[in-house]
Amino acid sequence: MVVKVYGPNYASPKRVIVCLIEKGIEFETVPVDLFKGENKSPEYLELQPFGELPVIQDGDYILFESRAIIRYYAEKYKSQGTDLLGKTIEEKGLVDQWLEVEAHKYQPPLYDMVVQILFFPKMGIPKDENKMKENEEKLSKVLDVYEERLSKSKYLAGDFFSLADLSYLPFTQYLVGPMEKGYMIRNRKHVSAWWDDISSRPSWQKVLSFNFNP
Ligand SMILES: N[C@@H](CCC(=O)N[C@@H](CS)C(=O)NCC(=O)O)C(=O)O
């Protein structure tokens, strides 16, 4: 059964797609255009009642929340492709810890910046400069914690690549690319080396090479 991933043009669905590639799982994509409000259509809300991307359909099984989806596939296909979970219970605890940090400390200020820098102009909404400054400060503090952590281990959960690293790819790509805030990564030696490592993985390069239809 081929996994259907909805909304491949956006960052959170790319978190799922890069995981499926790491695991060697076949998938197809279903375009959903946020600017046309397709995520609020009755058909889409049947699959994802909050109207957010992504959602996956795997036969009769439907799952939303990108981090729940990557955990599901990492567990379901544990022995296929890259092991993204860690081997011992302690390693798994650390993977979960850094995934939670990504979801609750890194993503919120960054998401707001993404919306303000990349999406507001398309909607004719002006940026809130105070909010932007506040978010950048919050993100800097989180990155300082990563800098310290990555001075002690190659990846966030230890010396192995895991979901905890993979989860950072799509939104950090916005930061270093179209948002032109790569200095936030490059000013931190260990974060910078980590970013070069994880973003050069063939799985992520493949995601970047796809030209998904909007
Ligand atoms: N916690 C959700 C958040 C997903 C999310 O914010 N998706 C964005 C696209 S990257 C979205 O659908 N935004 C449209 C909206 O919230 O109306 C997840 O990780 O799946």
Q: Residue 29: which H helix or E strand, with range?
A: strand 27-30
Indicate the average pLDDT of the chain: 96
Determine the CATH number of domain 3-81: 3.40.30.10
**Nearest CA owner, ligand 1 atom 9:** 53
- Residue 86's pLDDT is 96
- Residue 212's pLDDT is 59
pLDDT band at 214 (very low <50, low <70, confident <90, very high): very low
**Where along the chain do the CATH 3.40.30.10 domains lie?**
3-81
Given a cut of 90, whether residue 67 has pLDDT beyond it is yes
**Nearest CA owner, ligand 1 atom 15:** 52
Query: In degrees, to the nearest 5, what angle opens at C-alpha 14 toward C-alphas 92 and 178?
Result: 115
pLDDT band at 213 (very low <50, low <70, confident <90, very high): very low
Express each pLDDT in 144-201 by its tens digit: 999 999 999 999 999 999 999 999 999 999 999 999 999 999 999 999 999 999 999 9
Given a cut of 80, whether residue 55 has pLDDT beyond it is yes
DSSP for 68-80, written as a single string: HHHHHHHHHTTTS
Determine the CATH number of domain 89-201: 1.20.1050.10
Quote the ligand 1 centre to 113 CA distance (angstroms): 14
C-alpha separations of 121 from 46, 66, 124, 126, 185 in Å: 30, 26, 5, 7, 24
Quote the ligand 1 centre to 52 CA distance (angstroms): 4
Quote the ligand 1 centre to 111 CA distance (angstroms): 9
Q: What pTM was computed for the model?
A: 0.96
According to DSSP, residue 180 is labeled -
pLDDT band at 211 (very low <50, low <70, confident <90, very high): confident
Residues 181, 208: Cα–Cα separation, whole Å: 19
**Nearest CA owner, ligand 1 atom 12:** 52
Which distant-in-sequence residues (6+ apart) come within 8 Å of 203 by Cβ?
A: 18, 21, 22, 82
Express each pLDDT in 21-36 by its tens digit: 999 999 999 999 999 9
From the CA of 12, give the closest atom in ligand 1.
10
Mean pLDDT, residues 84-106: 98
Which distant-in-sequence residues (6+ apart) come within 8 Å of 132 by Cβ?
A: 113, 116, 117
Given a cut of 60, whether residue 139 has pLDDT beyond it is yes
Given a cut of 80, whether residue 50 has pLDDT beyond it is yes
Q: Residue 3: which H helix or E strand, with range?
A: strand 3-6
Q: And the tokens for 177?
A: 């690319």
Helix orientation angle between 107-114 and 169-176, rounded to the nearest 10 degrees = 50
From the CA of 11, give the closest atom in ligand 1.
10
**Nearest CA owner, ligand 1 atom 14:** 52
Share of the chain above pLDDT 70, in %: 99
Ligand 1: residues with CB < 6 A are 10-12, 34, 39, 51-54, 65-67
**Where along the chain do the CATH 1.20.1050.10 domains lie?**
89-201
